[in-house]
């Protein structure tokens, strides 16, 4: 089964919830798109069931290979059919503004998955990439606050 992120033009999202995949309290699922202009990106989902589906695939991949899928993937990412019940991963619900703030504070871009469609050749994932335009002064303030001596 293949997962393909199809780039689309960013569209304004409504203020509804987004869902992210987590391993424990400190690790949010992120990926590095092949686009050199995009940073490592948090992956979020508009629908909770899509987050659970992909989380199940990630867990099954780890069960089959002994390791998590790579952060950086060239082309399609091949994942097995998902587990029914999540064992190692959790789904966390965010308000859009809260997740944007998290990404800015951690110098991450954001991928929002709008749809996950099961087709004959695998799953087709369609989403948007958000690159945050933050001033250098704001990042200096973030670093100064994080690394106070």
pLDDT digit string (tens) for 81-115? 776 789 899 999 999 999 998 998 888 889 999 99
Beta bridge partners of 112: 44, 128
Average pLDDT, rounded, for the chain: 80
Q: Is the pTM of this model over 0.85?
A: no
Residue with tokens 């990412």: 77
**What tokens appear for 14 in the block?**
């409504």
pLDDT band of residue 72 (cuts 50, 70, 90) is low
- pLDDT for the residue numbered 64: 87
DSSP code of residue 54: H
Provide the residue ranges of all domains of the chain, joining segments of one domain with +.
2-146
- pLDDT for the residue numbered 74: 59
Q: Phi, psi at residue 14, to the nearest 5°?
A: -75, 180
The terminus-to-terminus CA distance of the chain in angstroms comes to: 49
User: Residue 95, CB half-sphere, CA atoms under 13 Å: how many?
Assistant: 4
Rg of the chain in Å (alpha carbons) = 16
**What tokens appear for 48 in the block?**
């909770």
- pLDDT for the residue numbered 83: 66
The residue with greater pLDDT, 15 or 16, is 16
Pairing mode, strands 2-7 and 122-130: parallel
pLDDT above 80 (res 38): no
Q: Phi, psi at residue 135, to the nearest 5°?
A: -70, 155
pLDDT above 90 (res 50): yes
Q: What is the mean pLDDT of residues 116-139?
A: 83
pLDDT above 50 (res 5): no
Tell me how crowded residue 67 is: count the other CB atoms within 10 A of its CB.
8
**What tokens appear for 76 in the block?**
């399609």
């Amino acid at each position: 089964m293949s997962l393909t992120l199809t780039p689309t033009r960013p569209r304004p999202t409504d203020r509804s919830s987004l869902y992210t995949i987590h391993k424990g309290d400190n690790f949010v699922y992120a990926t590095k798109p092949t686009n050199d202009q995009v940073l490592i990106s948090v992956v979020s989902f508009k629908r909770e069931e899509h987050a659970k589906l992909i989380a199940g695939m990630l867990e099954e991949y780890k069960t089959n290979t002994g390791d998590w899928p790579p952060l950086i993937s060239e082309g399609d990412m091949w994942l097995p059919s998902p587990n029914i019940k999540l064992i190692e991963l959790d789904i966390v619900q965010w308000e859009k503004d809260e997740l944007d703030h998290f990404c800015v504070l951690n110098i991450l871009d954001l991928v929002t998955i709008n749809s996950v469609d099961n087709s004959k050749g695998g799953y087709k994932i369609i989403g948007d990439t958000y690159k945050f335009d933050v001033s250098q002064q704001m990042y200096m303030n973030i670093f100064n606050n994080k690394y106070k001596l």
